[in-house]
Structure 1
Amino acid sequence: MSYWGSNVRFLRKRAGLSQDALAGTLSMTRVKLNAHENGKTSNPTVSDLVAVSNHFAVSIDNLLRLDLAGLTEKELNDLERPKANMRVLAISVDEQNDEYIEYVPVKAKAGYTTGHRDPDYIAALPKYRFPGLAKGKTFRLFPTTGDSMVPVPEGSDVLAAYVADWQAIKAETLCIVIMRSEQDFVFKQVTLIGKDRLQLKSLNEQYEPYLVKLEEVLEIWEFDRYISRVVPLQRTELDDIKSLLLDMRRDLKRNKN
């Protein structure tokens, strides 16, 4: 029995891709991809097998013979071959092989950039469970600081899902970004610019967007929810005035240039 079609569909959904998006990446039509996923292609071509195998970093043998949907995330990670735009993640699991949600406290921030792939470091982090989370994803909890993402309250903890394929990030996706050069976590709206840069944009309009190179990034985690003891405040007239003054200052700067 071949699991080709169901595995292609599973891997696509696991990566958060639409059929149109994956078909475009694989240089095939959506109709052809749909036929693969629904078992209407009994003998996929060698070029299609190779394209899917290379994109998801899973061997052709495993695509054909294993039911990937029945594996745990750890087992899937063990199967995957590292590739340029896919990242390998260290995780911790319980006795039933279910993943924990690790929390990276403030005091652990400084060591995260060097220990994020060390199983012993990850195993030593505080661990939690959350009900109702999407299956097939790996989650981690990060503390935030500052007011750049207001109305998300300052000091909130952000629960986020691991992003393996950075090229699939949609424009202005809320993410935690782990930088190589910073011993902190950047919580921003993330947009892929070309194939080698990210635009990081705050929700608070008082902060200017900026660009970083992908080579400066260690990990990206997509926002799922935040946890806070603070009730977000409604926008006030003073906030509107501040935004107006900020826009005026930007216009003056552009005119001056």
Structure 2
Amino acid sequence: MDQLAENIKYLRKQHRLTQQELADKLQLKRSLIGSYEEGRAMPKISVLQQLAAAYNLTIDELVSINLSSGFHERSRAKGLQILPVVVDHNNDELIPIVPVKASAGYLNGFADPEFIGQLPRFSMPVPELLGGKTYRVFQIKGDSMLPVLSGSYLFCEFVESVSDLRDGQTYVLITRDEGLVYKRIYLENGTHLLLKSDNPEYEPYLVDSSSVLEIWKARGVLSFEMPKPSHLDIARLSDVLAEMKEEIRKLRDS
């Protein structure tokens, strides 16, 4: 990480920002920016992600390449964009929520720290969402993934690249052509992904893997719509079981 301190200073000056202005964009103290530029402190991974996203770089480029030479423009590898994150006053990551009404804007703002910073966010101190990973909550619309109901909130974990996808798992994808979709994903070949709905009324379809901008693995779901009672209520079910037991008893006695 020899280049990191110089790169942070170089990029800030290239974008004509003061240390305070950069600190405000990253929701950090100005003194932290100074310590990063002087090499007295090392940014957390969440801060590196924010910096990389703000300057349209990968973390590897940010920490290992002399950006002032211009060489990074030739060395860029094709892949997913590093995402911006939101942190609290202790520099701990918060979980942004992307409600249905913001899903259209997310396609244009997913790499913009200011857009992500304006989304509602919270912390969720449960074991399933710990471990230093990055999470986001997406509200879904439609019935293509029943029994997950329209309006439900999906708790998702960031996936760095298409190569990390696992067949048959459910993901939220951000793509250039489809926007934000929640589907079960299958690796069709090296260039395409097969997206399938859990609702059999919807036909599966292919997307070009190069059109994928972000990948989020679904980890859990929150819904505020209570389940409706079954057509066969509990009382009737108890009667049916009692009748079956009586029939079994009669068969044994005979």
2:153–2:221: 8 Å Cα contact kept in structure 1?
yes
Corresponding residue for residue 200 of structure 1: 195
1:91 and 2:91 equivalent? no
Corresponding residue for residue 74 of structure 1: 46
1:152–1:232: 8 Å Cα contact kept in structure 2?
no
Identify unmatched segments of 5+ residues in structure 1.
1-69, 238-257
Q: Distance in 2 between matches of 1:186 and 1:231?
A: 24
Corresponding residue for residue 102 of structure 2: 108
Query: What value does the CA root-mean-square deviation take over the aligned residues?
Result: 2.4
Deviations 1:145-172 (A, max 9, x none): 1111111122111110111121121101
**Pairs within 5 Å for 1:1-257:** 72-75=44-47, 77=49, 79-81=59-61, 83-132=77-126, 133-183=129-179, 185-232=180-227
Matching residue's letter, 2:106: Y
Matching residue's letter, 2:130: A
1:189–1:203: 8 Å Cα contact kept in structure 2?
yes
Q: Distance in 1 between matches of 2:93 and 2:164?
A: 24
Deviation at 1:97, TM superposition (A): 1.1
1:172–1:189: 8 Å Cα contact kept in structure 2?
yes
Deviations 1:68-87 (A, max 9, x none): xx974314535433632343
2:176–2:212: 8 Å Cα contact kept in structure 1?
yes
1:137–1:162: 8 Å Cα contact kept in structure 2?
yes
Deviations 1:21-68 (A, max 9, x none): xxxxxxxxxxxxxxxxxxxxxxxxxxxxxxxxxxxxxxxxxxxxxxxx
Matching residue's letter, 1:196: T
Deviation at 1:229, TM superposition (A): 1.4
For the residue of structure 2 that corresponds to 1:142, the secondary structure is strand
For the residue of structure 1 that corresponds to 2:116, the secondary structure is helix
Alpha carbons of structure 1 residues 175 and 234: separation in structure 2 relative to 1, 3 Å: farther
TM-score by structure 1 length? 0.59
For the residue of structure 1 that corresponds to 2:86, the secondary structure is coil
Question: Max radius of gyration: which structure?
Answer: 2
Deviation at 1:106, TM superposition (A): 2.1
Q: Distance in 1 between matches of 2:142 and 2:230?
A: 17
* Number of residues of Structure 1 aligned to a counterpart in Structure 2: 167
1:189–1:202: 8 Å Cα contact kept in structure 2?
yes
Q: Distance in 1 between matches of 2:202 and 2:160?
A: 28
2:140–2:151: 8 Å Cα contact kept in structure 1?
yes
Deviations 1:1-36 (A, max 9, x none): xxxxxxxxxxxxxxxxxxxxxxxxxxxxxxxxxxxx
Deviation at 1:100, TM superposition (A): 1.0
Q: Distance in 2 between matches of 1:172 and 1:152?
A: 16
Identify unmatched segments of 5+ residues in structure 2.
1-41, 53-58, 62-75, 233-254
Q: Distance in 2 between matches of 1:235 and 1:87?
A: 45
Deviation at 1:236, TM superposition (A): 8.0
Q: Distance in 2 between matches of 1:164 and 1:235?
A: 41
Deviation at 1:235, TM superposition (A): 8.7
TM-score by structure 2 length? 0.60
Q: Distance in 1 between matches of 2:159 and 2:197?
A: 20
Q: Distance in 2 between matches of 1:83 and 1:148?
A: 34
For the residue of structure 2 that corresponds to 1:80, the secondary structure is helix
Q: Distance in 2 between matches of 1:200 and 1:215?
A: 14
Deviation at 1:206, TM superposition (A): 1.6
1:171–1:190: 8 Å Cα contact kept in structure 2?
yes
1:177–1:220: 8 Å Cα contact kept in structure 2?
yes
For the residue of structure 1 that corresponds to 2:186, the secondary structure is strand
Q: Distance in 1 between matches of 2:88 and 2:173?
A: 27
